[in-house]
Amino acid sequence: MRVREREGRAVAAVSDCLALPRASGAPWPDLGALAEAIAGAAEVDGCWFTVAGNRFGWGVDGPAWSAVVEHSGEAQGVVAVCPESAGPLEGLAAVLGPVFAAARLAAETDDLRRAGDAALRELADARWRAAADMDRERRGLERDLHDGAQHHLVALRMAVGLLEHAVAKGGAAAARPRLDDLLTRLDAAEALVGRTAAGILPLALVDDGLAAALVAELAEHADVALDLGPGLRRYPAVAESAVYFVCMEAVNNAHKHAPGARITVRTRDTDRGLEFEVRDDGPGFDRSALPADSGLHNLNARAAAVGGSVRVTSAPGRGTVVAGFVPL
């Protein structure tokens, strides 16, 4: 077949192929089907296109005549026909210009759509992560207020009770020392709530460690005995913070649910990590009667966050023990 006849058949095949009805969802133009149609009409071994970095074709992919396909003065791709002796087919390259332009535009549009979908998914993920972080911060603040500030609020309630008793027994003059103590506790509670809301840990905990922080908060309570062991070493800040708040929560629970009970807070260094315990000789309770969302969940959550664990044992008439461990 002479080159001119082959070129004419190839050009006609382009028109015929593009005029065929397109199945729903099928790409347009279908470059693979177009290459096969050209190869069949021109009676060549293979026909291949390169458009937008992708290759489409049919038949042999070897030494070939090739040409850059242009449209509106801009290169759109490359057409190659095997064997090399089948060319030149400049008329085919010319008629393929608009086809390649459409294919390139479709490919770029698809790339933009995928990039847009990926950006939307990333935005949705970012929003979800932000919401999760905000919720985690909210829950952390809630736990810190519950476990730390509540200790001062319980102490305030006890101080108010003592003040009422002093007024009833000795009048306003006798109540004055109690009133001064109450005001001091109010100032301490206000300062603690402010620090907690700002995410600031107790100064003694940050500077001097767990033992110093427990002494600073609990030493003034006559019903609390501290057994902190000799030379308690420093632990990572997150571990010390977790143990501190677990102990404070356990002491608060004892003050609320076992008023008048003797409370002992014990800490010990071990080869594996830090052991701690808060024990009271109050009335105890039946654990099976507690709701699933009781305050004991906070204790477990705090310890688990640093790889530790908490065990609560209690029974009616036998007091309560909150024992935990945080590994090195």
Largest CA distance in the chain: 126
SS3 283: coil
- Which CA distances in Å does 249 have to 48, 146, 149, 215? 75, 8, 10, 15
Based on the fold, state whether residues 112 and 221 are members of the same structural domain.
no
Report yes or no on 20 lying in a domain: yes
Based on the fold, state whether residues 19 and 112 are members of the same structural domain.
yes
Based on the fold, state whether residues 112 and 22 are members of the same structural domain.
yes
**Alpha helices (runs of H) in 146-266, residue ranges in sequence order:** 150-197, 203-208, 210-218, 237-257
- Where is the domain boundary, 121, 146, 181? 121
Amino acid in position 249:
E
Report yes or no on 47 lying in a domain: yes
Report yes or no on 161 lying in a domain: no
SS3 25: coil
Report yes or no on 98 lying in a domain: yes
Report yes or no on 247 lying in a domain: yes
Report yes or no on 56 lying in a domain: yes
Based on the fold, state whether residues 20 and 112 are members of the same structural domain.
yes
In which band, very low, low, confident or very high, does the pLDDT at 292 lie, cut at 50, 70 and 90?
Answer: low
Report CA Rg, the chain: 40
- So what's the pLDDT on residue 128? 62
Based on the fold, state whether residues 116 and 13 are members of the same structural domain.
yes
Strands 74-82 and 46-51: antiparallel
Number of domains the chain is built from? 2
SS3 142: helix
Report yes or no on 214 lying in a domain: yes
Based on the fold, state whether residues 104 and 214 are members of the same structural domain.
no
Q: Which domain holds residue 53?
A: 3-121
- So what's the pLDDT on residue 161? 72
How many CB atoms neighbour CB 93 within 10 A? 23
CA-based angle 147:153:159, to the nearest 5?
Answer: 140
Report yes or no on 57 lying in a domain: yes
- Where is the domain boundary, 121, 140, 174? 121
For the whole prediction, is pTM greater than 0.75?
A: no
Summarize pLDDT for 17-70 with one digit per residue, the tens.
888 887 776 778 889 999 999 999 999 999 999 998 899 999 999 899 999 999
User: For residues 142 and 310, which has the higher predicted lDDT (pLDDT)?
Assistant: 310
Summarize pLDDT for 131-157 with one digit per residue, the tens.
556 556 666 666 666 566 666 666 676
**Which pair of structure tokens corresponds to residue 298?**
């906070």
SS3 51: strand
- Where is the domain boundary, 63, 96, 121? 121
**Cα 265 to Cα 95: distance, rounded to the nearest angstrom:** 89
- So what's the pLDDT on residue 46? 94
| CATH code of the domain containing 311 | 3.30.565.10
Based on the fold, state whether residues 208 and 114 are members of the same structural domain.
no
